Structure 1
Amino acid sequence: MSEQKLAAEVRTEFGKGFARRARMAGQIPAVIYGHGAEPIHITLPAKSTTLAVRVANALLSLDINGEDHLALVKDIQREPIKQIIEHIDLQTVRKGEKVTVDIFVHVVGELAPGNVFNQELTVISLEAEATHLPTSIEVDIEGRSAGEHIHASDLVLPQGSVLLTDADALIVNISEATEVTDEEASETAAGASAEAAAE
């Protein structure tokens, strides 16, 4: 995943009042921490930042007073109703550095007919190079049938990545589809109608 370049400004004001004014001016308050250094409080351009952080574990290349800073998005606070970004926590990283991240697992492919799958785990933890973080991991269920299980150890990870989630953790469980007969469906519907009438 390539880094997104953004221009940042150092800020010296804090608190809800400043945050509100910053957002009205099209800026998002943020803080960069890590490597034992003092946190750097900044503001980021709202529009381009919102686009840049749409992917999980976004990597940002920040220009702060002419200095380049590489940072990984660790946490985003959003306004609960409108989902507007209110604040971003960033972790400073270096090229070649390994970091721990949570990655979404996406199921792809079609099962053998008459089967269904249940995804038991949607996120796994990996250690990967900060500048080569995967946006997601795919698990292929093409042609699989009932009784098969896919564990974390079965996932195909990007080169250089190390699985931190328990290797025996169940990712996908495949079973036979349970068919509902017309008679059972009619009985269920009749029962629901009787309950509704009684109420």
Structure 2
Amino acid sequence: MKSITINGSKRESVGKKSTKALRNAGEVPCVLYGGDTPVHFSAPEVSFNSLVYTPDVHTVVIDLDGKSYNAVLQDIQFHPVTDAILHMDFYEFTEEQEITMEIPVHAEGVARGVKNGGVLRFNLRRMKVRGLASKLPDYIIADVTPLKIGNKLYVTAVESEDYTILHPDNTVICQVKTSRNIIADEEEEEEGAEVAAGDVPATEVSDEGAAAASNDA
């Protein structure tokens, strides 16, 4: 998984006045948990843009006065009116420590049911998984190509040795639903035609032809 670096400074004071002063200066007060003691720090709000305002997921390297910490974003608070970032919490981890992340799910291919007029609906845009940060993917690929109308793709279809899925096995990622533009599945239609033709005895056609000839006479 990709990582971004945040350069910040440790906070000496954590009172309301100092916190307000930081925000007025364009800084975001933050706390890093997971170590022996919480680490209070701040960083420019613009430095968090590539972490917060993106559909992608990243781990973070927090650089505080020359000392680096590997971390993941745990919580974030926004101003109710301006949407400015008010506060952020991070959780420190080691390279040997498994972490829990919500990874985006990307569809691959065009579902067979969509080609026949169905609609692909996603039930799960992000999957909660657990694993080593070095092995977690930037996104999880879900191959929807074989899905027919009415079919569902479950989380078990994207299992991997690199992470553990933290959803029940019957959790649906996406499904192809019917729509007004539905058309018959070409392969099923061909198979049905072959079966129907095989069910009609040759003698039956001959009998009908003979009866028609008799009537004409």
Q: TM-score, normalised by structure 2?
A: 0.71
What residue is the counterpart of 1:135 in the other structure? 138
What residue is the counterpart of 1:171 in the other structure? 173
What residue is the counterpart of 1:188 in the other structure? none
**Residue 153 of structure 1: which of 142, 149, 156 is its match?**
156
What secondary structure does 1:18 align onto?
A: helix
> Aligned partners of 2:117 and 2:16: how far apart in 1?
55
What residue is the counterpart of 2:53 in the other structure? 54
RMSD: 2.4
> Aligned partners of 1:51 and 1:123: how far apart in 2?
18
Q: Say yes or no: does 1:8 pair with 2:8.
A: yes
Structure 2's unaligned 5+ residue stretches are 183-217
> Aligned partners of 1:22 and 1:131: how far apart in 2?
34
- Kindly state the Cα deviation for residue 15 of structure 1 after the two structures are TM-superposed: 4.4
- Kept in 1, the 8 Å contact 2:51–2:57? The answer is no
> Aligned partners of 1:65 and 1:53: how far apart in 2?
23
- Name the larger-Rg structure: 2
Structure 1 2/97 Cα, relative in aligned 2: closer, same or farther at 3 Å?
Answer: same
Moved more, 52-61 or 141-150: 52-61
**Matched AA of 1:171:** I
What residue is the counterpart of 2:65 in the other structure? 65
Q: Say yes or no: does 1:94 pair with 2:126.
A: no
Q: Say yes or no: does 1:38 pair with 2:40.
A: no
Moved more, 100-109 or 144-153: 100-109
- Kept in 2, the 8 Å contact 1:73–1:91? The answer is yes
> Aligned partners of 2:12 and 2:6: how far apart in 1?
19
What secondary structure does 2:148 align onto?
A: coil
Moved more, 85-94 or 55-64: 55-64
Give identity over the alignment, percent.
24
| Equivalent runs, 1:67-82 vs 2, <5 Å | 67-82=67-82
> Aligned partners of 1:132 and 1:15: how far apart in 2?
39
The structure in which a higher percent of residues are helix is 2
- Kindly state the Cα deviation for residue 4 of structure 1 after the two structures are TM-superposed: 1.6
What secondary structure does 1:38 align onto?
A: coil
What secondary structure does 1:69 align onto?
A: strand
- Kept in 1, the 8 Å contact 2:62–2:71? The answer is yes
Across the two proteins, how many residue pairs are aligned to each other?
178
- Kindly state the Cα deviation for residue 156 of structure 1 after the two structures are TM-superposed: 5.4
Structure 1 136/2 Cα, relative in aligned 2: closer, same or farther at 3 Å?
Answer: closer
**Matched AA of 2:40:** H
**Matched AA of 1:39:** P
- Kept in 2, the 8 Å contact 1:127–1:162? The answer is yes
> Aligned partners of 2:70 and 2:124: how far apart in 1?
30
Moved over 6 A (4+): none
The structure in which a higher percent of residues are strand is 1
- Kindly state the Cα deviation for residue 132 of structure 1 after the two structures are TM-superposed: 4.1
Structure 1 2/122 Cα, relative in aligned 2: closer, same or farther at 3 Å?
Answer: closer
**Matched AA of 2:90:** L
